[in-house]
Amino acid sequence: MSRNCFVPGCREGYKSKIKLNKWQGIINKTMFKAPKDVLLLEKWAKAIPRADRELRPGIDSVCEKHFDETYLNRYFETKLPDGSINQIKRDRIVLKNNAVPSIFPDLPKYLTRKRPIEKMIAEKKILFNDNISNTTDHVSETFNNLYDHLKNMELPDEWFFTYLHRSLVLGNLDSNYELIKKIIISNNDLNLKVFIKNKLINITCTSITCIEDITKVLKKVDDFVMCPGTGIDNCPKSDQCCEYINLISLNQVRNQRCSECAKKRKYFMDSQRVSQEHNYTTPLIGNIAVTTYK
């Protein structure tokens, strides 16, 4: 059994500290063994910021310093006939049921978890080791929340997530591993940009305020169907091709191509028909249509 306090930075229970206490006439802190109840143990383990070792039930101990006073029974209490309560100090403090440690005064600064968000930002700073804003303002809070969320999120097929150039990047690869859809969230202002084949796309949501926003945008962009061009061998896609098909328009669903390519296709077909009506033929030499007059 370990007599040392499990909390990082705490010296209670260490031989040197016990010696020092004795020398200074200080009573040693009461040590509490980690609970054997699985759920309570999990709460303790979650609460104590220690990653190098698992908290072992019934073996590792945590000292009284880490528990809120409301969790500590320091006295035997007896109700007297007149209604008053008589308190007799216990030799050994008893921990109340469901007590969870929450006070960690000697932790290295970055591990102090007053609020989870502060801890998260601290961890992020270590992880990135660069310029995530020092302030705990809304932008970096949201950004860090998003990072955490995206890292653990189950993405749609063929999507990946990465942190690049201080931005959160979501990308979608086609079967040739070509990056065809991309969502970028900047950490400066949480601005959001969507690219389809390197073309910046206008979308209604341009700033991310919560995790729901990114889920919606991801769904929307995932639903974009890539424009296949005009669908005619010797008629390449329009220079103004939108690169994707907006499925909101029923007409485009039928055509399965973007409005620009649909226009170009129609124009090509029409001119073909006109040339046929006027007895034009368009034999092909390579990819170049050569028009001859009969």
Q: Please give the residue ranges that form the binding site for Zn ion (CB under 5 A).
A: 5, 7, 10, 12, 63, 65, 227, 237, 241, 258, 261
Min separation Cβ 220 and Zn ion, Å: 19
Q: Could you tell me which of 129, 127, 146 has the C-alpha nearest to residue 187?
A: 146
Q: Shortest distance, CB of residue 106 to Zn ion, whole angstroms?
A: 8
Cα dihedral 197, 201, 204, 210 in deg (nearest 10) = 40
- Which residue type occupies 274? V
Instruction: Give min distance, CB of 228 to Zn ion, in A.
Output: 8
What is the rounded distance in angstroms from the CA atom of residue 65 to the CA atom of residue 55?
17
CB of 190: closest distance to Zn ion in angstroms? Answer: 31
Nearer of residues 182 and 237 to Zn ion, judged by Cβ: 237
Compute the distance between CA of residue 208 and CA of residue 52 in angstroms, rounded to an integer: 35
The least distance separating Zn ion from the CB of residue 40, rounded to whole angstroms, comes to 18
Q: Return d(Cα 36, Cα 57) in angstroms, integer.
A: 5
Q: How far is the CB of 188 from Zn ion (least distance, A)?
A: 33
Min separation Cβ 259 and Zn ion, Å = 8
Q: Give the SS3 label for residue 244.
A: strand
Closer CB to Zn ion, residue 10 or residue 221? 10
Q: Please, which residues bridge with residue 185 across strands?
A: 168, 192
**Closest among 127, 129, 110 to 119, alpha carbons compared:** 110
Residue 201's DSSP bridge partners are 194
d(CA 294, CA 289): 15
Cα–Cα distance, 112 to 62 (Å, whole number): 16
Return the closest-CA partner of residue 137 out of 187, 177, 68. 187
- How would you classify the pairing of strands 288-289 and 284-285? antiparallel
Closest listed residue to residue 114, CA positions, set 47, 62, 43: 47
Contact indicator for 126, 49 with CB cutoff of 8 Å: no
To Zn ion, the closest distance from the beta carbon of 89 in angstroms equals: 21
